[in-house]
Chains A and B, each alone.
Chain A
């Protein structure tokens, strides 16, 4: 029956290219051995990480990650380092980081203590609060106004957790529907599937600005959270890689952070040339000048 084991091996070899190369050590070692750095990006987290008109991921977080890639190239002396891009969602980014499918997650991931048990974060690149958006005509202003309604939030986000918590604590009886990604969330409000979409204020601003008719939407007066820090996500327990990413982002934020910020938040951005019109706040300016990977929102002085 040797033919069977040979067939089995053959089929295995067919489907797992490159499985034979063994690996050891941390992420830097892995990048060195494979000559590739794997970046996880988002499809609809404008202006942090999203697809432009040619379906290429671009954004503020992508720019920061490319600076990190440059630093990795220099550190490992790998001028031909390949960048492999993988689309991730709020739902799968943490397991994909843990299982090595991605090395850097460049998007709009909130750094919090809960997640730090699974993954690590570098220095904060944005501060944003969890809010809700509805149609103006719906007349919902407070969280309590959502009582008994269908509300969408993105599966796997901190926002859906906060919505669940508010729903349970205030006994609102909200019908919570998980969306696959942020774009689907706003689209469900636009088409009347859901009364509101719970998401970070900056993501909502980006989606609304790009919508067919931004004027139909209104943001609620009440937030689900204080402004929380966004950061690029790394694997946990990998001190040498984290040190490199921390040093790089700290240098970039201090020297060109404000210019990068201006590029994505105050100027026209692809694909449609909309302007986010979010000038640098005092808290954000402080966060860029004093880079920190602290998960505590209070540490950012807001």
Chain B
């Protein structure tokens, strides 16, 4: 293979100044983690709310939830990010658009919100499925005990539903981390983008991508282990997970 390997490249100073190529990867990792965590918070919050709406008896609320899910699920993430980043500032009143565009970290905020909402539709489907999978008697029992509907959700349905959907949520957590790389298309300097920048500056394409690959393997393995621990802690003996 006529490729000139140079694994020492990571300790060379990067042309951006102020650090080595390894530091570029670290800065990319930080942004990947920050975007993933914040987007995941949005995804869980919005996803749970929409998932609950979808399980309610009111048909209009169900339709609202379904519309939300279908809109976000049937457009590719990349296109959604372009809509938030390129289109939104042009269609809101000019002053707002100018403010949006003047944000120094616009790609970061766009990635957090765009990725968060995209993932929220998938979380909502999981939550709604989890609620539907619970025995019908639980809802009736809650109401019969004198709980209001919100109380039944808060103390009976949701704690059980979350336990049921924890395993699929684990894979959605990993998906959030993976999908954060799509934001390189709007100029976000996350891990994959930094690996590509190392390739552009040093031409050491395979070293840069190998490093990024190993880092993704590591963080996704850690995330999986943490979620498994959470699953074990949350397990009610003889209930929920097989």
User: Within the complex, are A and B direct neighbours (CB within 8 Å)?
Assistant: yes
Which A residues lie at the B interface, using CB under 8 A? 90-91, 94-95, 98, 117-118, 150, 152, 155-156, 160-161, 164-165, 167-169, 175-180, 191-193
Bits for B63-107, please: 1 = Cβ < 8 Å to A, else 0: 000000000000000000000001001100000011001101011
| Chain A contact surface mostly | mixed
List the A side residues contacting B3 at CB < 8 Å.
Answer: 98
A91-B196, A94-B203, A177-B187 given; A193·B101 CB < 8 A: yes
- Interface membership of B8, Cβ < 8 A: no
List the A side residues contacting B57 at CB < 8 Å.
Answer: none
The answer to whether B98 and A168 touch across the interface, beta carbons within 8 angstroms, is no
A235 to chain B, nearest CB (A): 10
The answer to whether B106 and A193 touch across the interface, beta carbons within 8 angstroms, is yes
Q: How far is the CA of A61 from the CA of B200 in the complex (A)?
A: 22
B109 to chain A, nearest CB (A): 13
Cβ-neighbour of A165 out of B17, B102, B104, B203 (below 8 A): B17
The answer to whether A161 and B205 touch across the interface, beta carbons within 8 angstroms, is no
A-B contact list, 15 entries, CB within 8 Å: A91-B199, A98-B3, A117-B203, A152-B187, A160-B200, A161-B15, A167-B17, A169-B17, A176-B16, A178-B187, A191-B86, A191-B89, A191-B101, A193-B101, A193-B106
The answer to whether B185 and A95 touch across the interface, beta carbons within 8 angstroms, is no
The answer to whether A191 and B90 touch across the interface, beta carbons within 8 angstroms, is yes
- Interface membership of B238, Cβ < 8 A: no
Complex interface residues of chain B between 204 and 237 (CB less than 8 A to chain A): 205
The answer to whether B185 and A180 touch across the interface, beta carbons within 8 angstroms, is yes
List the A side residues contacting B155 at CB < 8 Å.
Answer: none
The answer to whether A95 and B15 touch across the interface, beta carbons within 8 angstroms, is no
Q: How far is the CA of A175 from the CA of B106 in the complex (A)?
A: 11
A150-B104, A192-B98 given; A164·B17 CB < 8 A: yes
Q: How far is the CA of A91 from the CA of B89 in the complex (A)?
A: 27
The answer to whether A168 and B17 touch across the interface, beta carbons within 8 angstroms, is yes
The answer to whether B102 and A91 touch across the interface, beta carbons within 8 angstroms, is no
Q: Which residue of B lies closest to A119 (CB)?
A: B203
| Chain B contact surface mostly | helix
Bits for B98-141, please: 1 = Cβ < 8 Å to A, else 0: 10011010110000000000000000000000000000000000
Cβ-neighbour of A164 out of B16, B86, B106, B203 (below 8 A): B16
List the B side residues contacting A94 at CB < 8 Å.
Answer: 203
A13 to chain B, nearest CB (A): 23
The answer to whether B101 and A177 touch across the interface, beta carbons within 8 angstroms, is no
Q: How far is the CA of A155 from the CA of B184 in the complex (A)?
A: 11
B153 to chain A, nearest CB (A): 43
The answer to whether B18 and A155 touch across the interface, beta carbons within 8 angstroms, is no
List the A side residues contacting B86 at CB < 8 Å.
Answer: 191
B103 to chain A, nearest CB (A): 9
The answer to whether B16 and A179 touch across the interface, beta carbons within 8 angstroms, is no
The answer to whether B196 and A155 touch across the interface, beta carbons within 8 angstroms, is yes
Pick from A150, A152, A167, A193 the residue with the most CB of B within 10 Å: A193
List the A side residues contacting B182 at CB < 8 Å.
Answer: none
Identify the 3 closest CB pairs spanning chains A and B, nearest first. Answer: A168-B17, A156-B200, A177-B187
List the A side residues contacting B187 at CB < 8 Å.
Answer: 152, 177-179
Q: How far is the CA of A180 from the CA of B200 in the complex (A)?
A: 12
List the A side residues contacting B17 at CB < 8 Å.
Answer: 164-165, 167-169
Beyond known contacts A168-B16, A168-B18: 10 more, CB 8 A cutoff = A90-B200, A91-B196, A155-B200, A160-B200, A167-B17, A178-B187, A178-B197, A179-B187, A192-B97, A192-B98
- Interface membership of B201, Cβ < 8 A: yes
Cβ-neighbour of B15 out of A152, A164, A175, A178 (below 8 A): A164
Q: How far is the CA of A112 from the CA of B117 in the complex (A)?
A: 45
List the B side residues contacting A150 at CB < 8 Å.
Answer: 104
List the B side residues contacting A160 at CB < 8 Å.
Answer: 200
The answer to whether B15 and A155 touch across the interface, beta carbons within 8 angstroms, is no
List the B side residues contacting A95 at CB < 8 Å.
Answer: 199, 203, 205
The answer to whether B104 and A91 touch across the interface, beta carbons within 8 angstroms, is no
List the B side residues contacting A156 at CB < 8 Å.
Answer: 200
Q: How far is the CA of A160 from the CA of B203 in the complex (A)?
A: 15
Q: Which residue of B lies closest to A115 (CB)?
A: B203
List the B side residues contacting A164 at CB < 8 Å.
Answer: 15-17
The answer to whether A192 and B203 touch across the interface, beta carbons within 8 angstroms, is no
Complex interface residues of chain B between 1 and 19 (CB less than 8 A to chain A): 3, 15-18
